[in-house]
Every structure is written in structure tokens, then in C-alpha cells.
Structure 1
Amino acid sequence: MKDWYKGWFDSPYYDLLYYDRDENEAREFVAVMAHLLKIDRSHKILDIPCGNGRHCQALLETGAEITGIDLSFRNINQAKSQSFNSIDYYIHDMRNPFRINYFDFVFNLFTSFGYFDSIKENIKAAKNISLNVKNGGILVFDYFNVDHSVYQLKPEEILYRGNIQFTILRKRYGNSMHKDIQVNDGKNEYKFQERVKIYSVQEIQQIFHPFNLELQNVFGNYSLGKFEQLESERMICIFKKQL
């Protein structure tokens, strides 16, 4: 399923499936991260990709200047409808340059990387994410922890959101995790897919190192608990751009 992310992220079923990833979760994570990084109103922040803007809305509470970019037309329209022009949103592909050496903090959250089939395209995305970070700035990179995910993997799961049924099939294919999603709304069936590359902390570090980003710390959950290779659900990597 080529360019799976275009159809899936533009679908209303994406938000419905992940309804538990809501504004409260975003606000709690942003609060602890803002405290750790000492974010204030003097800073410029980019959320890439920003989805429907839930983290941008939470980041707005820091007083900083917030920008969100996303490939999905639907996501950007939804985000704009909630921001009252207090946040700058743009439709933009993360593989292309945006604002070079401009932002104090760049956030890449909720496994929003590794979408592309070729190594070249994923490296291109990493390069252009990095270019947005100013010298001395910070990249917050949040990815699923493959060691925990494979250990806890549910090959098949059926979930209900109201009257809508989601049948989810999960499998590892080489260096990628695949999730086939079938949606039944009682009248029609729709098929979607998620595919992301598998990376360890060391591999993520190697990807961003050529772009002058040095790993400072790794956390294992949204409360910024210690990263444990087999037990942590997340790999939240804090990079600093070297001068």
C-alpha cells in the first residue's frame, strides 16, 4: 500500500481509533517537558508533523511562538479551526526544507518518523527535521520502543469505538512493523495500513548525528521515567544541536 500515510492520516477513523491520545495526555506531557527544557515565551517551537494540533495547543500554554506543519490537509484544517489564529499551521512535507536554523525547540512526537519505504527518504526527512533546529537548540524525538513492542505484540485485536469495529492485525516484516486496519461502520468496510521502520536508540542516534544533533538523554515514557530497553513503551530522545 504505497504512501499509506496519506489515506490513513486524512481519514476520520484515525482520530477515532486513537481517541485516548487526547488533549489531556498532550498537556501532561508538554508540562513535564516544558519544565525540563525551561521553555518560555522567548522561544520558537515547531511541531513536525503536528497532526490535529493537540500538542501545539498544549505548547501554547508555555507562551512560546508555536508553529505546526503536517502533510495532511484534513489535519491542518482541523488544527486551524481550534487555534483561533494563535498558532501558525502549514501543509508541508517533512522531507522538504521549512525554516532553516530557526526554532529553539523542534518536537517530533508519537512515532511520526520512519514512514517511508526507502532509507534515502527517511534520511532526507531526518536531515530536514534537523535543519529546522537552530544552533544550540533541542530536538525532542518520540518513537515506539521496538523491544517492548515486539515482546508485548498482540497479533490480532478487535476494538469498538461506538458502533464502529476496528480489526487490527500486527506483524513484524524484517525491519518494519506493519499494522493492517480494517474498519467496519455497519454499512461499509475500509482498509488502511500503518508501516514504520524499526529503530533502536543507537540507530536513531546514528541517523541524526551527521546533522550535528547529539543525544543528551533518553526517557522511557511520557512522565519522563528512566528508559528500560525491555520494559519502556517509548524512546523519548533529547538531542542538542551543536554549534
Structure 2
Amino acid sequence: MRPSPAETVRTLVAGRLPGLVHLTHRPGPHHVRHVTDPDGRVLLLVPVVSDLAAALRPGPGEEDVAVVLDVLDLPPAAGAPSLGRAWVSGWAGELRGDEARAAAQDFAAVDPTGDLLDLGTRFRMFRFEVVEARWERGDTVRRVDPEAYAEAAPDPLHALEPALLADLADHHGDEVTAYLRRQLGLTGDDPAGAPRVVRIDRHGLVVAYGRPGARRRIRLAFPAPVADHAELARLLHPMICPRAAAGPGGPA
């Protein structure tokens, strides 16, 4: 198993990565602080005094402003493959009163910034429902159904991924290498081509191996998607404790 395109887009736009906002018929793009709420709607925290706030002001005869949020993945370690780029679009409108306060709670669940305390004075909250979503990876762009996007959930390990990879490499390197060699059926001892985990998600591990210039990547799938860090730790125990009896499944 591997993340679906809808799940990947939800993960990329969840709010852990920098985002840019493009607005129709307006200058830009603009850097923006954003998150998504539990329904996948995009929340934008915008300084009152900013070019973006001015651009989000509806023109004559407009109620909302057409926007596109553009988020590019940042690989968690050197040599790790990118998840690509997500583009989600909709019509952004400013929230006020109870709606703004409820949205601030959703924002804080992802990014508990103190600037939310100044909502209504120094900052404004905008929201849009995703009506179009695209996932770009390499030379391929795939459209993602908005309903599938809304029903998907961000990967719970994405924000932890850099720390997880560093911990495996720095504190359990020998055990991980030995485990991966057994799983991949590799023989010999070539440090230059030793397998290593380069990405982790709720569905499994992405492993790179082979000498420079002939590197290969393969996915080792978990028996079932993990729900959180604690479940991942239990599942990976055989990797760092060779005497354990069970572990991730074989290549997928």
C-alpha cells in the first residue's frame, strides 16, 4: 500500500509546509500562513497590513476572491524523494465573529501560533473550500476529485518524519541496515550501497539502496496503516531489536 493522490495532497497542504497564494487578476504570488481544518478547508491567517490582505479584498460585485494555494514538498533528508507539489483552489472569504473564533481553534490545532490572539486586530482569517485539486510529481500532473480530497486525511507522521529518519540513522543505524538487508535479500557488505530509510509514512517505508549512479528505491509496506507515532514505534521495534518476532511487511 501507498498514499493515494488525495491523501498526498491533504498531507502537503495540511499546514506543515510553506505555501504560496496566487490570486486571479491580482499581483503575486504571496507567502501565506495556512492550515487545513478537519474538513479539508483551507484557512489563511493574513496580517491586516499586507499586500495579501489588500489582494483578498473583493472587488466591485464580488463576494469572495478566487485563490490557488501552491505547496511544494520539502524532502526530510538528503537523498529523500520529494512528494511533489499540491495545488488547491477555491473562493476565499473573510471569516468574522463566531466563524472566525471556531476557525482559530482549528488553526491552533495545527499551528498554535500566538498571533491567533490578535485575530480581528492585527490579523484576519480567510477560508476557502477546495473546489479543484491537483498533484504534480515529476512531469505528471493528476487531478484529484474534491470529494476524495475532503474525505482523505493528512498523514500523521509527516510532521515527525525528519526526526524519525534522523533517529533511525543516528541511534539505530547498524540494526536498521541489517534488518533492511534481510528484507531485501541483499548479500555482501558494501557501505557505499547500504540500504537506508529515506521516507516514512503511515503506509510504510521507502528504502534507497545501491551504489551512487545506480541507486534504487523500494517500498516496504506495513501490514496496515499506522495511526500515530506510538503505533509506528511498536511496529518498528523488530527493526531496532533483532530478537523481536514481527515487523513491517515485505516489498510492495
Which has more radius of gyration?
Answer: 2
TM-score using structure 1 length: 0.23
TM-score using structure 2 length: 0.22
More strand, by proportion: 1
